[in-house]
Structure 1
Amino acid sequence: MAKRRKLSAPSPEDLNRMEEEFRRETSAAAAFAPSAAPTAPIAQVAAESAQAAPVTDADTRAEQARNAAAAKTLSDSIAAGLLIHEIPLSQIDPEDMVRDRAALDEEEMNELRRSIGINGLRLPIELYEMSEPEGELKYGILSGYRRFKAVSALFGMTAKPEYQTIKALIRQPGSVPEAFAAMVEENEVRAGLSPFERGRISSIAVQMGVFASTEEAVNAMFASASKAKRSKIRSFALIFEELGDLLAFPETLSEKQGLRLSAALRGGAETALREALGAVVPEDAAQEWQVLEPEIARFEDNARDARKGGRPAKSPAKRRADPANTIRTSSGFTIHREEDTRGYLIRIGGRKVDHEMIDVLMLELQRLLEKP
């Protein structure tokens, strides 16, 4: 009968030795036969990555998170046009967009220059990147035209370096109509336009092809105005279209005067009004209205007589210029194209037209039509 072997528990030293041998054998098996390794591959990769990653404390990780958030905020601000830049005046073309304000009041500009000279420019202007830059000129003015002019004047008068640049926000309007609307909104809020200036910019926007019609232009650029106000703006747009090249003081027309004048134009008084304006050179707004008022009153008297009854006389058809064939310049000239069986005629109007100017234009046309 075999003698039974007595079992005894291993000592702590034996246990440590066996555990060390097990680890060595496991590592060797994993090296030569990865499928035999007891650790899953994903777990092994995670472990190796954790060992390779630098150990950072909580404060460092918090600072890294703050820096990442600040970088995203900066990127979003640039994209939204919220970052203020210092732009050299020489890179800005103030006339890239036709302005709604026909004239700048010199007294107001002097006050603005004094304010900027004492307090600096508190409110940045708004610029947009020009789609076709011209040399050094890269930006057009969306809003802040008067502030730009004031800073430019200060630089011209003082040559101080702080007036060589101007604080600006760079915005990218979604379309040209939005740019016109933004410009008008800025002037409406900060310094109200005259009724004629509202009508003028509406008509110019149509002539430039920004809007299809005066009604569309007025509705887009003066969207917050009441229906009655938009109707008045359309009336002043008609005044600009029909008499803008002859009126010397149109910005002084009151709403009441403008509505009377536009009603006369709609009723067929255009020829008489143009002849009256072309016969004199008024010294001021009051004298110009004295020229217009008799013709307007004559139209109103005829309109009242027509309402008294009886068979109305047949009014002659009003000859209206086709807007598509007419160009009105911001300097007060009208260029109109006509066509007959013999060819085309170009009619140039405006109080400033004289023989010398026509001679120059004819020579320029000859140069353009000569063989290269």
Structure 2
Amino acid sequence: MARRRKLQAPSAEDLTRLEEEFRRETPMKGAMAPIAQVAADAAGQSPVVDAAAREKLAKDSADADRLRDAESKGLVMTEVPLDQIDMNDMIRDRASVDQVELSELIDSISANSLRLPVELYRLKQPGDGKTYGVVSGYRRLLALKHLHDQTGESKFATAKSLIKPIESVPEAFVAMVEENEIRSQLSHFERGRIAVVSTQNGAFETVEDAVRKLFASASKSKRSKVRSFAHVFEELGDLLGFADQLTEKQGLRLASTLRMGHTQELREAMASRQPANSEEEWLCLLPVVESAEEGPKDQSRGGRPKSASRPKPGTGRLKSLCAGEPVVLSRDEDEQGILLRFQGKGASKELVDAAIDELRALLGN
């Protein structure tokens, strides 16, 4: 049977030796907690920053915050390449671009570069490399594009731009209209047209809604006029060649005639027309407008009977020669005198001869 080994307590020398070995194999860095030790090590490795450097860092941080805030508000001007701008993302409120004014703008930008920045907005669905749409500055961009196409110079390849924080298509239309209302007054027809077109493009539910939001700052009477011109554009916009030159009075008379149910007569009056200017175009419409304004005569009204006026001779003959077809009269002038021009399907030699006979009779010739 094996004998049990007798255990002996270690001596003081043994304990001292063991403690020294433990300390040698496990170095200690003080009595601080581990996380405190990590922080101390990191601080020891970081460079020492003096007060001036700390002040500069704080200023740089504040400047960066201000820049980000200004950019978010569309207050920072930047250079945007023309090929990143979608010129056709939005239907413009201008019905046409005056070529003379555009030519003058091209000459100005060519000589002095682009003085005023254009206003853009980020497209919700960028495509074909296009990132931005146009709020204002459409003509300036056209001029820049023309110059770049003609010269190829890099200074015309970008546009000074402000990126506006616009979140929706209706906002973009409102911003565009407000900009043009401030810088250069839109015509009555252009106001009505953009209300209809923006509605057709889905920006607004109805034309009424478009007028109310696009011209929110306008007076009640002005919005009423815009609605009238919008009605003219809806019914006759495809036939009128000089609609943007309609005066306020002419547009309101047209709208009133349309509301009285004379749309077809107006369209027929324009069907075969080829007016050379706004005056001739209005003369095509005027007979229908005047007939509608005169209205049907009420034979039941009492009062003193009016003396019967002698019917104009030949009126029935002239109408029969027209055979119900439209005839447009216009005036011209040359070195020999004033000319009358007969146009339309109803114009014929017989009609002209009959009209000459009537004029001679009225003049006593």
| TM-score (normalizing by structure 2) | 0.69
Q: Does 1:121 align with 2:114?
A: yes
Q: Report % sequence identity.
A: 49
1:293 corresponds in structure 2 to 286
Question: Quick one: which of 215, 225, 232 aligns to 2:218?
Answer: 225
Contact 2:122 2:166 in 1 (8 A): no
In the alignment, structure 1 residue 156 sits paired with structure 2 residue 149? yes
The aligned counterpart of 1:302 is: 295
Distance 1:67 1:58 in 2: 14
Matches within 5 A, 1:247-258: 247-258=240-251
Change (3 A) 1:226 1:103: same
Counterpart position of 1:236: 229
Paired residue for 1:137? 130
- Aligned positions, number: 278
Quick check: 1:170 aligned with 2:163? yes
SS in 2 for 1:216: helix
Question: Which of 254, 266, 275 in structure 2 is aligned with 1:261?
Answer: 254
| Among candidates 89, 92, 107, match of residue 85 of structure 2 | 92
The answer as to whether partners of 2:72 and 2:165 remain within 8 angstroms in 1 is no
SS at match of 2:142: helix
Greater alpha carbon shift after TM alignment, 172-181 vs 229-238: 172-181
Match in the other structure for 1:67: 60
Cα 1:50–1:309 shift into 2, 3 Å = farther
Aligned to 1:207: 200
* Secondary structure in structure 1 of the residue aligned to 2:295: helix
| Amino acid of the structure 2 residue aligned with 1:204 | V
- Cα shift readout 1:160-193 (whole Å, capped 9, x = no counterpart): 2211111112234121111000011111111211
Bigger shift: residues 45-54 or 185-194: 45-54
Q: Which runs of 4+ in 1 moved over 6 A?
A: 31-34, 39-49
Distance 1:46 1:91 in 2: 49
* Alpha-carbon separation, structure 2, partners of 1:55 and 1:194: 67
Aligned to 1:326: none
TM-score by length of structure 1 reads: 0.68
Paired with 1:229 and 1:300, the residues of 2 have a C-alpha distance of: 23
State the Cα deviation string for residues 321-372 of structure 1 (Å, max 9, x = none).
Answer: xxxxxxxxxxxxxxxxxxxxxxxxxxxxxxxxxxxxxxxxxxxxxxxxxxxx
- 2:104 paired with 1:107: no
Distance 1:56 1:219, change over 3 A: same
SS in 2 for 1:199: helix
Rounded Cα–Cα distance in structure 1 between residues aligned with 2:256 and 2:74: 44
Distance 1:306 1:174, change over 3 A: farther
Structure 2, gaps ≥5 residues long: 1-22, 303-365
Structure 1 pair 48–220 and aligned structure 2 pair: CA distance change class (3 A): same
Cα deviation, residue 146, structure 1 = 0.8
How large is the Cα RMSD of the aligned pairs? 2.7
Q: Give the residue type in structure 1 aligned to 2:156.
A: Y
Judged with a 3 Å threshold, the aligned counterparts in structure 2 of structure 1 residues 230 and 59 are, in CA distance, closer, same or farther, namely: same
- State the AA in 2 paired with 1:146: R
Per-residue deviation, 1:46 = 7.3
Deviation (angstroms), 1:125? 1.0
What residue is the counterpart of 1:281 in the other structure? 274
- Map Cα deviations across residues 79-123 of structure 1 (whole Å, 9 max, x no partner): 333332222212222111111111011121122222222222121
User: How far apart are residue 53 of structure 1 and its match?
Assistant: 4.5
Q: Counterparts of 1:206 and 1:128 in 2: how far apart (Å)?
A: 20
Q: 1:224 to 1:47 in 2, by over 3 A?
A: same
Code of the residue aligned with 1:107 in structure 2: it is V
Tell me the CA shift for residue 236 of structure 1: 0.2
- How far the C-alpha of 1:51 sits from its partner, in A, is 5.2
Moved more, 41-50 or 141-150: 41-50
Matches within 5 A, 1:333-344: none
Counterparts of 1:307-346 in structure 2, within 5 Å, are none
Q: Residue 217 of structure 2 aligns to which amino acid in structure 1? A: S
Task: Choose 1 or 2 for highest CA Rg.
Answer: 2
